[in-house]
Amino acid sequence: MHDKPTLRQLMRARLRAIDDTTRSQAAVQITAHILRLASAWPAGTTLSLFGGLKNEPDFLPLILPALLAQGACLTCFQIDSGELRPRQIKGMDDLQRGQMNVWEPRPDCEPVEIAAHNLILVPGLAFTREGCRLGRGGGYYDRLLSHPQCKAHRLGIALDAQIIDTLPTEPHDQRVHQIITESGPLQPSAPHE
């Protein structure tokens, strides 16, 4: 098994090798799978979205209008002092490219408590079928998901190419409850906290 820095390099190279057309088609398929799941969510579900890192499927512009029409309360995270701070978004006009060129809410968007979230869509460089996740190394999502008030369902979003057999984990690494790729939902088989 590779160590985390080596695995990050390998996964970044794997993602760079995926052409824009394939990535765009994957974003459409991932959006469709999420919306199928969302059809069972109660109105007023609070969930966080993410989007925009280079070589990730940028599904946010596709999914935002449909989830808003369904009555969901949507947030995106603003990076503030090394922490992810959720703010409510009501449309693409509430978003701007922020640190690392990801979609972030504008500063005037209303803050939302992490405890209010029912669901958090979680990015990563790699995931295992058991729900282990390899982030990009900043620890943002591990800190967020380990917050004592964070009780939200964790839905990892990835391309099929990002699903691997094993990855090194440490005690602070946070798992996801479910993963969605362009091929559909994966339910991790191993129990986790």
What CATH number is attached to the domain comprising 110? 3.40.50.10420
The pLDDT confidence band at residue 53, using thresholds 50, 70 and 90, is confident
Q: Is residue 193 part of a domain?
A: no
In terms of residue numbers, what domain contains 107? Answer: 4-186
Residues 6 or more apart in contact with residue 117 via CB below 8 angstroms: 46, 47, 48, 75, 86, 150, 151, 152
Q: Is residue 112 part of a domain?
A: yes
Average pLDDT value for residue range 75-91: 92
**Domains contained in the chain, number:** 1
Q: Is residue 103 part of a domain?
A: yes
pLDDT, tens digit (0-9, with 9 covering 90-100), for 17-40 = 999 999 999 999 999 999 999 999
Whole-structure pTM value: 0.92
Bridge partners (DSSP) of residue 153 are 119
End-to-end alpha carbon distance in the chain:
24
Query: What's the CA gap between 5 and 18, in Å, rounded?
Result: 21
Q: Is residue 191 part of a domain?
A: no
